[in-house]
């Protein structure tokens, strides 16, 4: 069982016992922090692995691709070719939000090395970029249906603190929102650069399946077991 708390900036699901780690999980474009909260019980972790899940709400901002409509977004999208014309200013601002969330968890007693950054779609972009740039070693990075913009050049600026951090890449082969080749290429570039990547591909569109949820659960359990969390 989890205890749910909400603020204007995020919701949190905390285990009944002391948390051994935290997962900061970012939603996709136009959603909010409530989007992935229902998945937590499906991970079936509460008995074996008590984690706190933090689901932040992205800022409200106009999104060019949606005719300037104001919605929750981690950064602006200016074109259907989502890997082009990257909103570097917006991405940087969202990375600072994530860094603040990490610090909040540390202040609450969770060691940095027990914190996972996760995200779906736009949130996956931020999770990858924030995690690879973070100056201290994290427990892991999880990117679902996302990609790493300009991966080759970005990795030259990545912080070596997370050069061996486990990374889970999940993507649907039938995804046309964030096209599957972008996710596959992200995994390939990370592997080529000797990152510790687990890549899983599914016969789904731009969504998360039960099979993927089960893979995430196994990956998290393995992650914390290897880090001697339990």
pLDDT digits (tens, 9 = 90+) for 150-182: 888 888 889 999 999 999 999 999 999 999 999
Outline where DSSP puts E strands in the chain.
2-6, 10-15, 21-26, 51-56, 60-63, 69-72, 115-120, 140-144, 167-172, 197-202
Q: Out of 35, 76, 87, 175, pick the active-site residue.
A: 175
* 135, 42 Cβ separation under 8 angstroms: no
d(CA 51, CA 22): 5
Q: Out of 27, 83, 171, 206, pick the active-site residue.
A: 206
At residue 53 the predicted structure's pLDDT band, cuts being 50, 70 and 90, is: very high
Q: For residue 35, indicate whether it is catalytic.
A: no
Confidence at residue 65, expressed as pLDDT on a 0 to 100 scale: 87
Placement of tokens 């860094």 in the chain: 99
Give me the mean pLDDT over the 184-194 stretch: 95
Three-state secondary structure call for residue 117: strand
Q: For residue 175, indicate whether it is catalytic.
A: yes
d(CA 69, CA 206): 21
Q: How high is the mean pLDDT of the chain?
A: 93
Confidence at residue 226, expressed as pLDDT on a 0 to 100 scale: 76
At residue 86 the predicted structure's pLDDT band, cuts being 50, 70 and 90, is: confident
Q: Out of 32, 121, 145, 171, pick the active-site residue.
A: 121
Confidence at residue 143, expressed as pLDDT on a 0 to 100 scale: 98
Residue 123 has pLDDT above 60, yes or no: yes
Residue 229 has pLDDT above 90, yes or no: no
Give me the mean pLDDT over the 20-24 stretch: 96
Tell me, what CATH number does 78's domain have? 3.40.50.1820
Q: For residue 206, indicate whether it is catalytic.
A: yes
Confidence at residue 150, expressed as pLDDT on a 0 to 100 scale: 82
Give me the mean pLDDT over the 85-114 stretch: 93
Out of 11-25, 100-114, 149-163, 174-188, pick the least confident. 149-163
Domain count of the chain? 1
CB under 8 Å to 78, separation ≥6 — which residues? 64, 65, 85, 87
Residue 105 has pLDDT above 80, yes or no: yes
- Residue-range definition of the domain harbouring residue 80: 2-226
Give me the mean pLDDT over the 7-36 stretch: 94
The string of DSSP letters for 14-76 reads EESS--SEEEEEE--TT--TTSSTTHHHHT--TTT--EEEEEEPPPEEEEGGGTTEEEE-SS-
Encoded tokens for 155: 């990795």
Residues of the chain with pLDDT > 90, as a percent, come to 81
With the C-alpha atoms ordered 62, 158, 188, 42, is the resulting torsion angle positive or negative? negative
Q: What would the pLDDT profile of 193-227 be if each residue is shown by its tens digit? A: 999 999 999 999 999 999 999 999 999 999 998 76
Residue 230 has pLDDT above 60, yes or no: no
């Amino acid at each position: 069982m989890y205890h749910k708390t909400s603020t204007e900036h995020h919701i949190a699901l905390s285990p009944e016992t002391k948390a051994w780690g935290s997962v900061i999980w970012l939603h996709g474009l136009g959603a909010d922090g409530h989007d992935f909260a229902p998945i937590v019980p499906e991970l079936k972790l509460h008995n074996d692995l008590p984690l706190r899940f933090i689901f932040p709400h992205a800022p409200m901002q106009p999104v060019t691709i949606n005719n300037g409509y104001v919605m929750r977004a981690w950064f602006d999208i200016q074109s259907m070719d989502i890997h082009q014309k990257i909103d570097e200013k917006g991405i940087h601002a969202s990375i600072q939000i994530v860094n603040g969330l990490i610090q909040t968890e540390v202040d609450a007693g969770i060691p940095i090395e027990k914190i996972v950054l996760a995200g779906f779609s736009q949130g996956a972009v931020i999770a990858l970029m924030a995690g690879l740039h973070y100056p201290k070693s994290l427990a892991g990075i999880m990117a679902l249906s996302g990609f790493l913009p300009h991966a080759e050049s970005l990795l030259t600026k990545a912080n070596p603190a997370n050069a061996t951090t486990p990374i889970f890449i999940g993507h649907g082969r039938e995804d046309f929102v964030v096209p599957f080749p972008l996710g596959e290429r992200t995994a390939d570039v990370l592997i080529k650069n000797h990152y510790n990547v687990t890549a899983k591909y599914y016969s789904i569109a731009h969504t998360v399946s039960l099979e993927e949820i089960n893979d995430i659960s196994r990956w998290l359990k393995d992650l914390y077991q290897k880090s001697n969390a339990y």
